[in-house]
């Protein structure tokens, strides 16, 4: 068994190749085999870093008796959800409809044409109260297939029709347009953003974020709140306060890896003390951008230090643990550590017993002992509890030196342990998010090595994932080889455009501007029609059958921002860039700019309708709306001044989303047509659509032009 997946590029599939289950990879052949045998399909959908996938694998798929029954009565198919996002999304919708919840491992039973007849997530080896065992589920589905097949067909048709109607309803979210950002409409749209902030305040959980445990980082919402906080007035102040409360709790809790950097996927408890230890590239890419921005924006010095350390920790972790020899960034680190005896232990690399910590940090006067929150524990029967490393409060500025010494000692011990496995799959979209975040953070945190890391990843994507003949981006690659059949979804294309745009703005290299335009043109052509956007123009017959033929784009956020919002952000950025190149204005004859803005208006046109109902589900669209309402500042030209002044001006430009910045590596070239101040003093020119404001003479004056929500220059240091 397992020969079909033993040589798979997917680490997730290879993890299951040893099992007695006769696994098939996802594709036409498996479903044709089910049709020929006249039996249903069992889809097992997961990913390499998934803890509960490992648990179910050991409990059920390693069991010869369970495997024998599965092989005899079903065609079992293993699906790496990261390779097949549209398949995952389709069957997740079915699972959530049937059960009210979702997650991985996802266990789905289908007809040979792909329509769902039953679904769930993890099933235990023995029945629990209210939950059947996996064997019982297999037997029940088989019995229904043999004895009640007409009812199964009817149920599958009804579910597909329902999912199709949901997709059709989803498409209606793109049926209205956001008003153009005129001064009159800013008055109208400003209250929409304020309403969303107020609603988020009412949804805030006392322990951070916007709902009960399990606690996931609400990254798109935090991004929106930080952008809104750059304005003035009560709503902006409320936005900053809301964002910082959750950012504090995440950065001090065990969601953050205090020792090595980076953030875990989520915490199982409400207090952010017991993490689910897998680390995903897409989480850390978003959080790097957010914490780097917060490190500049926060009005409190202790928060700025905390946020700066969180952001730098992510960047350094990406370089140390996720960077591949090719220059691409790996997908994830496993939640589990595979011990010497072959057993899986979640968090074994990351946790310590109290006895171990006392042996490592012997100085009881170290600030660690005052700040460490040792309540979080994974208790093993008959053994001393394993504890996560979480802080009970935000350290003051003087405590960090002692904390660093303690963390270094813990790191030395942890590095000697068995490390979690890394999934070396390169996912285009997640790398795109990381490229954009690293480029921005390189300026916000004054970390030029982050820009080098971003550039290397971008070079890899362009060389390996971009198919110029078809004008498409390939979704995944392994060891420098892209899967030529796996064309990226809208999320991949839009995210990589944003990454290339960030490099063009911050690095000042024309090639990234040209590549972003080429990629964005192909994206719009492939994923947008008169009927609206689609996440993927699927030719997969199972996906089409499962949704009664309906396709659309998801407007609401998930673990990553909604792809439609990512596309809107990329289009809005290009509109600003085109204002520089063509010195034109939207509405005054520049057709290219108008076309981009018209599509932006469609992609986020639902924002007014959702602002007072579910803003927590649409943070990315709200974030684009904030930038859209404020209008596009096209260009920031820095002439003269001291190096630190130019750095501060660049930081402000990044926060404000300037479409073109000067390259710090060659500041003199920026002043070719713009005079410096007296004695080569600082002059900062802010231009919109080819028209420049009176020059600012200091970063303090620039704040008033770009980000009036920053109260003083102290926030820039």
**Per-residue pLDDT band at 669 (split at 50, 70, 90):** very low
Mean pLDDT of 492-506: 96
Mean pLDDT of 383-405: 94
Q: Provide the number of structural domains found in the chain.
A: 3
Give the ranges where 172-233 is alpha helix by DSSP (H): 183-203, 219-228
Q: Which pTM does this prediction carry?
A: 0.95
Q: Residue 669's domain spans which residues?
A: 635-716
Q: Output the pLDDT for position 690.
A: 62
What is the rounded average pLDDT of the residues 486-502? 97
Most confident of 49-63, 184-198, 692-706: 49-63
Closest to 433 (Cα-Cα) out of 322, 566, 311: 566
Residue 280 maps to a domain: no
In a domain, 319, yes or no: no
**pLDDT for 7:** 92
pLDDT number for residue 715: 42
* Count of H-run helices and E-run strands, the chain: 27, 24
Domain boundary among 422, 456, 481: 422
Q: Residue 255 corresponds to which tokens in the numbers above?
A: 């969601």
The verdict on residue 94 lying in a domain is yes
Inside any domain, residue 151: yes
Residue at 385 is within a domain: yes
Give the DSSP H/E element, type plus range, for residue 506. Answer: helix 490-507
| Across 520-537, average pLDDT | 94
- Per-residue pLDDT tens digits for 614-668: 999 999 999 999 988 876 556 788 888 888 888 888 899 899 888 766 544 333 3
The per-residue pLDDT for range 1-29, each reduced to its tens digit, is: 668 999 999 999 999 999 999 999 999 99
Q: How many Å apart are CA 314 and CA 565, to the nearest integer?
A: 24
- Rounded mean pLDDT, 519-546: 93
Q: What is the pLDDT of residues 130-156, one digit of tens each?
A: 899 999 999 999 999 999 999 999 999
* Sequence-ordered strand ranges (E) for 411-495: 422-423, 426-427, 466-467, 472-473, 476-478, 481-482
Is residue 122 over pLDDT 80? yes
State which of 112, 146, 171 marks the end of a domain. 171
Q: 236 vs 629, which has greater pLDDT?
A: 236
Instruction: Please report whether residue 25 resides in a domain.
Output: yes
Q: How confident is the model at residue 538 (pLDDT cuts 50, 70, 90)?
A: confident
**Residue pLDDT, tens place only, 403-454:** 999 999 999 999 999 999 999 999 999 999 999 999 999 999 999 999 999 9
- Name the band, by pLDDT with cuts 50, 70 and 90, for residue 327: very high
Residue 432 has a pLDDT of: 98
Among candidate residues 91, 126, 86, the one with its CA nearest the CA of residue 105:
91
Determine the pLDDT at residue 704: 86
What is the arithmetic mean of pLDDT over 259-278? 94
Please, which residues bridge with residue 336 across strands?
346
In a domain, residue 328? The reply is no
**354: how many CB neighbours lie within 10 A of its CB?**
14
Is residue 437 domain-resident? no
Q: What is the pLDDT of residues 190-206, one digit of tens each?
A: 889 999 999 999 999 98
| Helical ranges in 38-182 per DSSP H | 51-56, 64-73, 85-99, 134-147, 149-171
Pairing of strands 275-276, 266-267: antiparallel
Residues of the chain with pLDDT > 90, as a percent, come to 75
Burial 612-633 (b: 16+ CB within 10 A, else e): eeebbbbbbbbbbbbbbbbbbb
Domain termination site, one of 137, 171, 205: 171
Distance CA 341, CA 346 (A): 14
**Rounded CA gap, 286 and 221, in Å?**
11
Who has greater pLDDT, 586 or 656? 656
């Amino acid at each position: 068994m397992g020969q079909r997946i033993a040589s798979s590029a997917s680490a997730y599939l290879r993890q299951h190749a040893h099992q007695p289950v006769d696994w098939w990879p996802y594709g036409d052949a498996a479903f044709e085999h089910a049709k020929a045998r006249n039996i249903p399909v069992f889809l097992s959908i997961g990913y390499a870093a998934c803890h509960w996938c490992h648990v179910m694998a050991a409990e059920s798929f390693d069991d010869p008796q369970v495997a024998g029954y599965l092989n005899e009565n079903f065609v079992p198919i293993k699906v790496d959800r990261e390779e097949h996002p549209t398949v995952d999304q389709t069957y997740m919708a079915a699972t959530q409809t049937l059960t009210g919840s979702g997650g991985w491992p996802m266990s789905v039973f289908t007809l040979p044409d792909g329509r769902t007849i039953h679904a769930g997530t993890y099933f235990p080896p023995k029945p629990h109260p209210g939950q059947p065992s996996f064997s019982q589920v297999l037997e029940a589905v088989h019995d229904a297939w043999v004895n009640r097949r007409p009812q199964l067909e009817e149920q599958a048709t009804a579910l597909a029709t329902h999912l199709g109607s949901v997709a059709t309803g989803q498409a209606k979210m793109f049926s209205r347009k956001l008003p153009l950002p005129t001064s009159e409409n800013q008055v109208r749209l400003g209250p929409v953003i304020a309403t969303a902030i107020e609603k988020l305040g009412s949804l805030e959980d006392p322990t951070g974020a916007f709902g009960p445990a399990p606690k996931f980082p609400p990254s798109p919402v935090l991004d929106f709140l930080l952008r809104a906080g750059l304005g003035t007035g009560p709503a902006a102040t409320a936005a900053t306060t809301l964002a910082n409360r959750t950012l504090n709790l995440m950065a001090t809790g065990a969601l953050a890896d205090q020792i090595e950097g980076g953030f875990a996927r989520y915490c199982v408890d409400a207090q952010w003390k017991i993490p689910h230890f897998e680390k995903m590239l897409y989480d850390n890419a978003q959080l790097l951008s957010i914490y780097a921005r917060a490190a500049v924006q926060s009005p409190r010095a202790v928060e700025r230090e905390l946020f700066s350390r969180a952001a730098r920790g992510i960047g350094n972790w990406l370089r140390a643990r996720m960077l591949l020899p090719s220059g691409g960034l790996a997908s994830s680190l496993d939640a589990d550590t595979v011990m010497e005896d072959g057993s899986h232990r979640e968090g074994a690399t990351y946790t310590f017993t109290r006895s171990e910590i006392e042996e490592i940090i012997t100085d009881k006067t170290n600030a660690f002992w005052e700040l460490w929150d040792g309540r979080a524990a994974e208790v093993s029967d008959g053994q001393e509890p394993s504890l996560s490393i979480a802080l009970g409060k935000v350290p003051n500025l003087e405590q960090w030196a002692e904390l660093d010494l303690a963390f270094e000692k813990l790191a030395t011990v942890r590095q000697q342990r068995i490390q979690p496995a890394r999934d070396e799959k390169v996912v285009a979209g997640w790398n795109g998010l990381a490229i954009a975040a690293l480029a921005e953070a390189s300026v916000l945190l004054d970390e030029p090595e982050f820009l080098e890391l971003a550039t290397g990843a971008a070079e890899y994507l362009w060389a390996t994932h971009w198919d110029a003949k078809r004008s498409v981006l390939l979704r995944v690659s392994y060891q420098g080889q892209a899967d030529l059949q796996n064309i990226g979804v809208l999320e991949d294309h839009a995210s990589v455009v944003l990454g290339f745009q960030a490099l063009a703005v911050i690095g000042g290299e024309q090639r990234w501007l040209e590549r972003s335009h080429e990629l964005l043109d192909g994206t719009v052509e492939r994923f947008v029609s008169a009927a609206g956007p689609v996440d993927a123009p699927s030719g997969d017959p199972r996906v089409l059958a499962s949704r009664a033929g309906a396709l659309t784009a998801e407007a609401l956020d998930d673990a990553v921002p909604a792809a439609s919002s990512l596309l809107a952000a990329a289009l809005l950025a290009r509109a600003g860039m085109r204002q520089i190149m063509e010195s034109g204005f939207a509405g005054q004859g520049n057709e290219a700019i108008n076309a981009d803005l018209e599509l932006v208006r469609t992609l986020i046109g639902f924002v007014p309708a959702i602002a007072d109902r579910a803003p927590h589900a649409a943070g990315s669209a709200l974030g684009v709306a904030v930038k859209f309402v404020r209008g596009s500042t096209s260009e920031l030209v820095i002439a003269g001044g001291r190096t630190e002044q130019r750095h501060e001006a660049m930081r402000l430009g990044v926060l404000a989303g300037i479409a073109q910045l000067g390259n710090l590596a060659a500041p003199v070239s920026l002043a070719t047509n713009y005079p410096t101040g007296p004695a080569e003093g600082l002059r900062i020119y802010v231009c919109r659509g080819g028209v420049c404001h009176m020059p600012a003479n200091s970063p303090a004056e620039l704040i008033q032009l770009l980000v009036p929500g920053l109260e003083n220059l102290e926030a820039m240091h």
